[in-house]
Amino acid sequence: MKILFVCAGNTCRSVMAEYLLRQTARNMEVSSCGLFAVAGSTANPLTLQVLKELGIDGCAHLTAGVNERIISAADLVLAMELSQKLLLHTAYAKYREKIFTLRGYGAADADIGDPYGADLDAYRQTRDLIFLEIKRIMKLISAEEK
């Protein structure tokens, strides 16, 4: 299964989700991108720090912008906010059946707020919320595959 995480800039939330899922489910192909990402930038230093606290090295991450090739290649696209999901639905309407919010996959839509510009504790809270959602989604995907 190929999972794509999408946020605004591909420097915080989608990066956390990508690397947390890679560590959790090594049998999946995982990537991330941003709706407004400047391609080739690095992840936010606080993102890298909160990942490192869990033993995850995200230093090699380079940002990527969303495009049809990336969306079409994914089996599941998970946005961090409802507004991002709706933008993706509009821009990539033929793929809308596989585009959800991270918190809305198998549940009611809810945003994962952007920690950009906040302190380290906000990044930790965001990381932990994303990790909880990833664990929940992995259980759903496992049940669907049976």
Q: Which residues pair with 34 in a beta bridge?
A: 7, 65
Decide: helix, strand or coil at residue 37: coil
Extract the tokens encoding 23. Answer: 């560590």
Examine the residue annotation and report whether 59 is marked as an active-site residue of this protein.
no
Q: Which of 40, 27, 41, 33 is nearest to 99 (CA)?
A: 33
CA distance 36 to 38: 7
Examine the residue annotation and report whether 7 is marked as an active-site residue of this protein.
yes
Catalytic residue among 7, 12, 33, 103: 7
Torsion of CA 2, 62, 128, 113, to 10 degrees: -100
Catalytic residue among 114, 124, 128, 136: 114
Examine the residue annotation and report whether 69 is marked as an active-site residue of this protein.
no
Q: Which of 145, 5, 9 is nearest to 65 (CA)?
A: 9
Instruction: Show which residues are catalytic.
Output: 7, 13, 114
